[in-house]
């Protein structure tokens, strides 16, 4: 069984936000109205976090693209009372929108704050012109449920279907999330961490590799490569 993981090379990331936009479009992530945005309710599965160290003139700012960390030991799935968020066998933390009761325990429990709540039926409130651009492969979310990055799980399903139709097994590169695909500076890698020959597995062993808040023991499957100084 594959264990899907992502590697993000911070040395290459230019913080251009292409991944943010690609994710928003690919996953039918709703655009909230301006008033809702000002109330801090914007939904953004992928987000660029800036982290500044030191003070002027000796300072460094690093940009960290932050999808869901797809933890192997997720604090969010543990607290879900109805199994609406769970770790699937291939290591993706899944969300079942149709089952979620909207208690937001997983939102409160996630140390990476990657979980977003639909305070209103944001998707239905978008103008029809925007809704026409919906990706038919991804279900839209009703009001009152939690959503987050799924590593573009629908792309995995599709890739498996194609592979099955062609009577072969999944090849590296068959399944890539939209953020990785769209990265112009090729800072993002995606693949099967359980396959030692894969690029992500090799990069994950790099001396530059680190994970966010490793000390919490969440075992994220998003691995960052620190900048070379």
Among 19-27, 106-114, 163-171, 180-188, the segment contacting another protein (CB under 8 A): 106-114
Q: Is 117 in the site for another protein (CB under 8 A)?
A: yes
Among 16-24, 142-150, 158-166, 201-209, the segment contacting another protein (CB under 8 A): 142-150
Strand spans (E) along 42-196: 47-55, 58-66, 85-87, 93-95, 116-117, 146-147, 188-192
Taking a C-beta distance cutoff of 8 angstroms, is the pair 30, 139 a contact? no
Residue among 43 and 176 whose Cβ is closer to another protein: 43
First to last CA, the chain: 37
Q: Which residues within the stretch 66-105 sit at the binding site for another protein (CB under 8 A)?
A: 66, 75, 78-84, 99-105
Residues that contact another protein, how many (by CB under 8 A):
45
DSSP 228: P
Among 2-10, 13-21, 114-122, 177-185, the segment contacting another protein (CB under 8 A): 114-122
Q: Is 145 in the site for another protein (CB under 8 A)?
A: yes
Determine the distance from the C-alpha atom of residue 12 to the mean position of all C-alpha atoms in its chain, rounded to a whole number: 19
Q: Is 130 in the site for another protein (CB under 8 A)?
A: no
Q: Cα separation of 21 and 44, whole Å?
A: 9
Listing DSSP states for 215-227 in one string gives: GG----SEEEEPP
Question: Which residues would be at the binding site for another protein (CB under 8 A)?
Answer: 36, 39-42, 47, 49-52, 66, 75, 78-84, 99-105, 107-109, 111-113, 116-121, 143-146, 212-213, 216
């Amino acid at each position: 069984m594959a264990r899907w993981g992502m590697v993000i090379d911070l040395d290459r990331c230019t913080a251009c936000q292409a991944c943010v936009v690609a994710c928003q479009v690919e996953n039918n992530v709703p655009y909230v109205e301006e008033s809702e945005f000002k109330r801090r309710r914007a939904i953004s599965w992928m987000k660029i976090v800036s982290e500044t160290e030191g003070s002027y003139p000796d300072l460094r700012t690093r940009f960290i693209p932050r999808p869901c960390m797809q933890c192997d030991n997720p604090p969010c799935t543990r607290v879900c009372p109805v199994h609406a968020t769970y770790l699937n066998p291939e290591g993706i933390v899944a969300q079942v929108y149709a089952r979620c009761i909207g208690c937001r325990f997983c939102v409160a429990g996630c140390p990476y704050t990657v979980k977003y709540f639909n305070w209103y039926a944001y998707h239905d409130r978008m103008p029809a012109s925007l809704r026409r651009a919906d990706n038919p492969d991804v279900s839209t979310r009703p009001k009152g449920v939690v959503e987050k990055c799924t590593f573009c799980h629908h792309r995995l399903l599709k890739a498996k279907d194609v592979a099955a139709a062609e009577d072969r097994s999944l090849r590296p590169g068959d399944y890539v999330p939209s953020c990785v695909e769209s990265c112009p500076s090729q800072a993002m890698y995606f693949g099967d961490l359980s396959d030692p020959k894969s690029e992500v597995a090799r990069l994950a062993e790099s001396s530059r590799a680190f994970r966010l808040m490793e000390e919490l023991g969440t075992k994220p499957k998003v691995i960052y490569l620190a900048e070379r100084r």
